[in-house]
Amino acid sequence: MTPTITAFESSPDGGQGLARDMRVRWAFEEVGQPYDVRLVSFKEMKEPAHRALHPFGQIPTYEEGDLVLFESGAIIFHIAQHHGGLLPDDANARARAITWMFAALNTVEPPIVELEQVPYAEHDKPWYDERLPMIEDRVRVRLTELSSRLGDADWLDGAFSAGDLMMVMVLRRAEGTGLLEEHPNLLAYIARGEARPAYRRAFDAQRAVFTGKSPMRR
Ligand SMILES: N[C@@H](CCC(=O)N[C@@H](CS)C(=O)NCC(=O)O)C(=O)O
């Protein structure tokens, strides 16, 4: 059965691959699993029919037969568990790759998302000028730590895994802040991820939604 995911009908980033369906699309492309996409408007995301799939009224969701999932991490983990190519066979290496998925989502992504949100949500608040550099520093610390661990390796733990897929996607959200530029190895890491044919196919498919060329538009 072909799984169906949900994605923005109209994305705030205009199709730059930042909306979180991009991660799921990339995972599908890496493992060679075809998928369908149902586009949802912001209004539809908050309506009961979508909330039945996603309690927080967000994208992406995943439907396959009776199974409904939300949270990009859970969806990618599910895809990786059921297909070869995203998690190593060796049990310990597999556990470490899963650890990197969690690290991307729980440790690296939160300060980056905060840095994204503060400028538009709090720019008119009296604390803004003090708070912004504090959040930048939090991101800087995480990037420095990650950069130090990555060193001159291609990927975080041996071969490319779902952990790298998630980390590259999370780091991409920091593009434009100037903070990634402090770590040439992280820039090269992101570029390696973006150069993967599966990434390109996923990016082009998401972008096509916004250029009106998507065959999957509904
Ligand atoms: N932790 C969730 C975050 C999902 C999320 O923030 N989705 C965004 C799009 S990238 C969304 O639906 N935003 C609209 C909203 O929250 O109203 C995941 O990883 O799937």
pTM above 0.75, yes or no: yes
- CA of residue 23 to ligand 1 center, whole Å: 12
Widest distance between CA atoms in the chain: 53
Q: Which of 31, 34, 33, 42 is nearest to 7 (CA)?
A: 42
Ligand 1 atom 1: residue of nearest CA: 71
pLDDT at 15: 86
Tell which atom from ligand 1 comes closest to the C-alpha of 58. 12
Residue nearest to atom 14 of ligand 1 (CA): 58
Q: Which atom of ligand 1 is nearest to the CA of 45?
A: 17
Domain range summary for the chain, segments of one domain joined by +: 4-85+198-211, 91-196
What is the predicted pLDDT for the residue at 214? 60
Atom of ligand 1 nearest to the CA of 60: 20
Whether 59 is in the pocket of ligand 1, judged by its Cβ within 6 Å, is yes
Q: What is the pLDDT at residue 213?
A: 62
Distance 91 CA to ligand 1 centre (A): 31
Superfamily for domain range 4-85+198-211: Glutaredoxin (3.40.30.10)
Note the pLDDT of residue 12.
81
pLDDT at 217: 38
Q: Is the Cβ atom of 20 under 6 angstroms away from ligand 1?
A: yes
What class, spelled out in words, does domain 91-196 have in CATH? mainly alpha
Minimum-distance ligand 1 atom for the alpha carbon of 70: 20
Nearest protein CA to atom 6 of ligand 1, as residue: 58
Q: Does the C-beta of 71 come closer than 6 Å to ligand 1?
A: yes
- If you measure from the C-alpha of residue 56 to the centroid of ligand 1, how many angstroms do you get, rounded to a whole number? 8
Q: What is the pLDDT of residue 218?
A: 34
Digits of tens for pLDDT over the chain (218 positions)?
999 999 999 988 888 999 999 999 999 999 999 999 999 999 999 999 999 999 999 999 999 999 999 999 999 999 999 999 999 999 999 999 999 999 999 999 999 999 999 998 999 999 999 999 999 999 999 999 999 999 999 999 999 999 999 999 999 999 999 999 999 999 999 999 999 999 999 999 999 998 876 654 33
pLDDT digits (tens, 9 = 90+) for 5-40: 999 999 888 889 999 999 999 999 999 999 999 999
